[in-house]
Amino acid sequence: MRRDVFQAIADPTRRAIITLIALQAMTPNAIAEHFDSSRQAVSKHLRILTECELVKQEQSGREIYYQLNANKMKEVDKWLEQFRKIWENRFNELDKVLMTMKKKALTREGNRK
């Protein structure tokens, strides 16, 4: 079964792994040190992230380093963009309503004096 990016990031441990390796490549052992789960469990998460192409493996001597594939994260960003636009529009509308309410309140306050 081929997994997609969204299945991969649905798991909180995998999201934490992505966050860890976003700044620097790490070995599976170094990654596993950050979790209370077994090395095998972390390896399973890394395998899923690799299958989805969110992380890349790089061999350096006898060690394998995992690093974030930032280009693949663009797929997630592109999907989220539609929601960003919706929320920006809603916030802009809310700003207009609040400004109208504020102007009315100031006008009422000014009329009382």
Provide the residue type at 50 as one letter: T
Mean pLDDT of the chain: 90
DSSP letters, 26-48, are B-HHHHHTTSSS-HHHHHHHHHH
Beta bridge partners of 63: 60
Give the whole-angstrom CA distance, residue 51 versus residue 34.
Answer: 22
Lowest-pLDDT choice from 29-43, 76-90, 99-113? 99-113
C-alpha dist (Å) from residue 43 to 11, 56, 96: 14, 13, 50
Give the whole-angstrom CA distance, residue 86 versus residue 47.
Answer: 35
> For the packed helices 39-51 and 12-21, what is the interaxial angle rounded to 10 degrees?
80
What integer pLDDT is reported at residue 58 of this predicted model? Answer: 94
pTM: 0.72
Backbone angles phi, psi at 69, to 5 degrees: -95, 90
Do the Cβ atoms of 75 and 5 come closer than 8 Å? yes
| pLDDT at residue 112 tops 80 | no
**37-73 tens-digit pLDDT:** 899 999 999 999 999 999 999 999 999 999 999 888 8
pLDDT bucket at 107, cuts 50 / 70 / 90: confident
